[in-house]
Amino acid sequence: MKTTDQTLMEQLKITDREILRRKKYLNFTDQDARQLESMREIIAGEIDDIVDLFYKKILPFDEMDRVIGDAETLSRLKNYQRQYILTLFDGQYDEEYVHSRLRVGVVHKRIGLDPKYYISAVHNLSAILRELISKQSDRDCESCMMSQLAVEKILMFDLSLTVDTYISSLIAETRRSRDELENYAESLEETVAQRTQSLKELARHDGLTGLLNQHTFYEELKKELSRANRVNRSTVLIYFDLDGFKKLNDSKGHKAGDAVLVAVGNAMKKVTRENEVAARYGGDEFCIILSARSLNDGKVVSERLCDEIKASIPETSVSCSIGIAISTPEKSMDANTLVKTADKAMYAAKKEPGFSIKIAGQA
């Protein structure tokens, strides 16, 4: 599995061979590595003073207030800086070391710290370490100079990695900007596609009630019956129309009739689940498809539907007759047969006054 660092190394083309080449550019040798490792114990003993002095030097930068923010963040940064400084003197400057330095670059770029502040911080850290080394009384001048030079080399090695990370990020941002321009050009096509999709959605729905229309109802019913056959489950169809609706339309006009149809559509939405289909079959006829439900479920939903319609339609002259049919694994029906069966049950319900429910096949 690739890590972010490995991806960066690939982007920057940093291989083991490239690491050796970068060290060669700085004349960083195995002797330098041993020189740094020999100072680790001394640095570890002075690490708290080094970190405190480092932050004393960089905190006056205006940019630091935005980056650090509060005492808790400063404390956390100090801990990171302790670890960073100690790893300068580990004596191992391999691929894992480069990984850690690339992470430093990524973090500083992410928080928005300009390279000029980072370079200044490296300069201040270098000055602190050089002064510390020069004060070691047990070191002769030549050893002192070798140690100071080794510190300079490893800090420059780190700095080159960080700067490359910044440059890589800038290149990535340029590519993103180019991609954004290309995406903007493509957005016109996407807008057209979205509007086309919106028109398709409008074509699927009844303009008055917002329910699915008859054509879409049959599409969904066929899909549901196909799924039901595959997974061995039942499909219940509720089919109903409004009794007294034509008389209402003739006496009070289409505006009053439309209000009733909208109220019925809203009632259907209230009693159906999100994954269930509610449709206007045509005129004052409506259908509900219940997936993986029983006839008893269909009856319960129908009773709730009657209650909702009664509550939302003040016209006592309008009621509904409901027919319920089911397609089961044992007795599977196609879409047309299931609709006809539910329609037949609906007409049987019309023989009873007011709101009535009839289940196909039951007396």
Q: Catalytic amino acids? A: 284
- Residue 282 phi, psi (nearest 5): 155, 140
Tokens at 325, concatenated:
């049919």
Determine contact, residues 118/104, Cβ cutoff 8 Å: no
Tokens at 263, concatenated:
């109220």
Task: Work out the angle at residue 337's Cα, subtended by the Cα atoms of residues 335 and 338, and round it to the nearest 5 degrees.
Answer: 65
